[in-house]
Structure 1
Amino acid sequence: MTIEQIATRLAEHCRNEKFTQAQTELYADDAVSIEPYATPDFEKETKGLPALKEKDRKFNAMVEARYGSTVSAPLIAGNSFCFTLTMDVKMKGKDRQKFSELCVYTVKDGKIIAEQFFM
């Protein structure tokens, strides 16, 4: 897949909240995920596709209700692309809220090798 195809496909999966499917289809086995900072629930950096899938599973277990996600059109530069992702969710034990972040991805050999989030 080209970077344009990967970016379009990932944005589509994210709009449909199919994050696990996106990882399985588009990510390299040794992909890395970088958060803005560590939290009690998540490390700043997660390495390897199995660990990324576990991170996704853990986040989903914390969500009580989902009210939709929006994703901007991808912006592509070289071997990287980004888009904004906004999720409207109610986390367990918390009020409903919207999370908005800039998601930046790096691609190598037709697979996503890195994702980094900025809030």
Structure 2
Amino acid sequence: MTTQEVANQLVKLCREGKFEQVLTELYAPDIMSVEPEGSTWPTVQGMAQIMKKGEIWTKMVEEVLESEISEPIVADTFFSITMKSRVKIKDVPEPVRMDEVCVYQVRDGKVVLEQFFYQPVMQEA
């Protein structure tokens, strides 16, 4: 798949809430996931670590109240999207609004890097 095709499919699947399918169909086994400095989420590498991160997120989120994913912007082997959401986190009284820019790199038809840019909102005490 081309970078544009990967980008289009990732957006389509994310909008449908099929995040596990994104991982299994579009990500390379040695995928690197980079979070911003100050985030409680670690930077991880490899499919097992990415899936573990996803499981933790799924267990934390009680309800997705709003979700918006932009069309991709593609340049060479990179593409970016914005994700905006409002979610109810377990044991947090007020919903949390999250806005982020997501940048992906594609090699041989698979995502090899995802990097997220956002202002960390949830800090551990």
TM-score, normalising length: structure 2: 0.88
CA–CA separation in structure 2 for the residues paired with 1:5 and 1:54: 26
Quote the residue 2:114 is aligned against: 115
Quote the residue 2:3 is aligned against: 3
Quote the residue 1:13 is aligned against: 13
Quote the residue 1:100 is aligned against: 99
CA–CA separation in structure 1 for the residues paired with 2:17 and 2:100: 15
Counterpart selection for 2:63 from 62, 65, 79 = 65
The one-letter code of the counterpart of 1:104 is V
C-alpha change, 1:84 and 1:112, in structure 2 (3 Å) is same
Equivalent residue runs for 1:39-78 within 5 Å = 39-40=39-40, 42-43=41-42, 45-78=43-76
The one-letter code of the counterpart of 1:62 is M
Q: How many residues align?
A: 117
Does the CA-based 8 Å contact 1:85-1:103 persist in structure 2?
Answer: yes
CA–CA separation in structure 1 for the residues paired with 2:50 and 2:38: 15
The one-letter code of the counterpart of 1:66 is V
Does the CA-based 8 Å contact 1:14-1:69 persist in structure 2?
Answer: no
CA–CA separation in structure 2 for the residues paired with 1:6 and 1:58: 25
CA–CA separation in structure 2 for the residues paired with 1:12 and 1:66: 17
Residue by residue, what CA displacement relative to the aligned partner does 1:32-68 show, whole Å, maximum 9, x if unpaired?
000002544x21x110011101100111100011123
- Secondary structure, in 3 states, of the residue corresponding to 1:55? helix
Aligned Cα root-mean-square deviation (Å): 1.2
TM-score, normalising length: structure 1: 0.93
The one-letter code of the counterpart of 2:87 is V
1:21 deviates by 1.1
Structure 2, unpaired ranges of 5+: 119-125
CA–CA separation in structure 2 for the residues paired with 1:90 and 1:109: 37
Between the aligned residues of both structures, percent identity stands at 38
